[in-house]
Amino acid sequence: MSETSTKDFLFLHTRDLPYFRAFLRAVESRFYQNLDLPSPTLDIGCGDGHFTELTFDRKLEVGLDPWTGPIHEAGTRRVYNLLTEANGDAMPYPDAFFSSAISNSVLEHIPQLDAVLLETARVLKPDAIFVFCVPNQNFLPNLSIAKFFDRLGLKPLARAYRGFFNKISRHITCENPDQWRERLESAGFSIDKYWNYFSPNALATLEWGHYFGVPSLILHFLTRHWNITKAKWNFVPIMSILRKYYNEPVPQEKGAYTFYVTHRV
């Protein structure tokens, strides 16, 4: 997909996050640059506001999240006009209030997904755009360690590893576009377009980052920072590895994630 921003989202995310999260979020930040998101905009699952802070050049009107810690951190970033601590299946907003909504890598974690989609439709105006991204049906099959077990004929180990990695990723759904189309149409949405991104090699880099990133996790536990310094020189080695995935052409047929652009019917 084309983009208009001159920001280096890869560096911006990598300086603040462990790299396996950073380069996926950097790719996603690019997708929003050519999207028209009329105000007022709702961010469903806004978390700590970091993604919004780096991705958009304006404040979003409302951020919604059920977690106290992250949403309080979002308040310190001043990237929303209003923050609401609430569940997505019980949004405290009037009908047809928002002109657009986003949900970046959130919906796959939600048990009551259909209820959240219905609530999202309720608070959006007719024809309002709703943009979101989620892991898809290619995520689990393309995990590199599970594929290694598959090649050795160790199917039970492959299944166990996929279950383990899905659990630590906190995924409840990794569905294909047909399944999403059914969910969305039942809630009152129509898909305008979608594309897969994040190749199997990019996914393997993210996967191994969970293990190579243990020192960053320890540093974050001790200091609340993921990196020792944010100076550019500190990221030269990892950026040289990640840049090719950041610049991957889109769509990727076997991409492990899907970006959806939909509208309220």
List pLDDT tens digits, range 72-107.
999 999 999 999 999 999 999 999 999 999 999 999
The DSSP letter of residue 38 is: P
Examine the domain organization and report whether 57 and 161 are in the same domain: no
What is the mean pLDDT of the segment spanning 4-22?
Answer: 89
Q: Closest by alpha carbon to 208, among 129, 143, 122, 137?
A: 143
Is 193 part of a structural domain of the chain?
A: yes
Total domain count, the chain: 2
Do residue 132 and residue 148 come from a single domain?
no
Residue 1 scores a pLDDT above 60: no
Higher pLDDT, 86 or 223: 86
> Is it the case that residue 230 has pLDDT exceeding 60?
yes
Q: Is the pLDDT of residue 242 over 80?
A: yes
The verdict on residue 130 lying in a domain is: yes
For 114, 201, 244, the CA distances from 239, given in Å and listed in that order, are 38, 16, 9
Give the chain's end-to-end CA distance (angstroms, integer). 25
Whether residue 4 is contained in a domain is answered as no
Pair (41, 124) in one structural domain: yes
Q: Is residue 155 part of a domain?
A: yes
| H or E element in which residue 259 lies | strand 257-264
Do 163 and 178 belong to one domain?
A: no
The token duo for 42 is: 């709702």
84 and 202 inside one domain = yes
Identify whether 2 is part of a domain: no
Phi, psi of 195 (to 5 degrees): -150, 145
Residue spans of alpha helices (H) in the chain: 9-14, 19-31, 50-55, 68-77, 113-123, 144-151, 155-168, 177-187, 200-212, 214-223, 236-246
- Provide the 3-class DSSP secondary structure of residue 162: helix
Indicate the pLDDT class of residue 6, thresholds 50, 70 and 90. Answer: confident
pLDDT at 4: 58
Q: State whether 60 and 155 are in the same domain.
A: no
Tell me: the pLDDT tens digits for 32-74? 999 999 999 999 999 999 999 999 999 999 999 999 999 999 9
Q: Are residues 96 and 128 in the same domain?
A: yes
- Regarding pTM above 0.85, the answer is yes
Residue 219 has pLDDT above 90, yes or no: no
Q: Per-residue pLDDT tens for 145-172?
A: 999 999 999 999 999 999 999 999 999 9
State the residue range of the domain holding 144. Answer: 140-171
Residue burial 67-96, b: 16+ Cβ < 10 Å; e: rest: eeebbeebeebebbeebbeeebbebebeee
Residues 219 and 181 in one domain: yes
Structure tokens at 74: 């979002």
Regarding whether 227 and 106 lie in a shared domain, the answer is yes
Asked whether residue 256 falls in the same domain as residue 233, the answer is yes
Q: Are 140 and 198 in contact (CB under 8 A)?
A: no
Give the CA-trace dihedral at 195, 200, 206, 207, to 10 degrees: 130
Is there a single domain that holds both residue 35 and residue 159? no
Statement: residue 265 has pLDDT above 60 = yes
The b/e string for 118-130 (b: 16+ C-beta within 10 A; e otherwise) is: ebbbbbbbeebbb
- Greater confidence, 225 or 112? 112
| Number of C-beta neighbours around residue 170 at 10 A | 8
* Residue 23 within a domain: yes
What CATH number did the domain enclosing 124 receive? 3.40.50.150
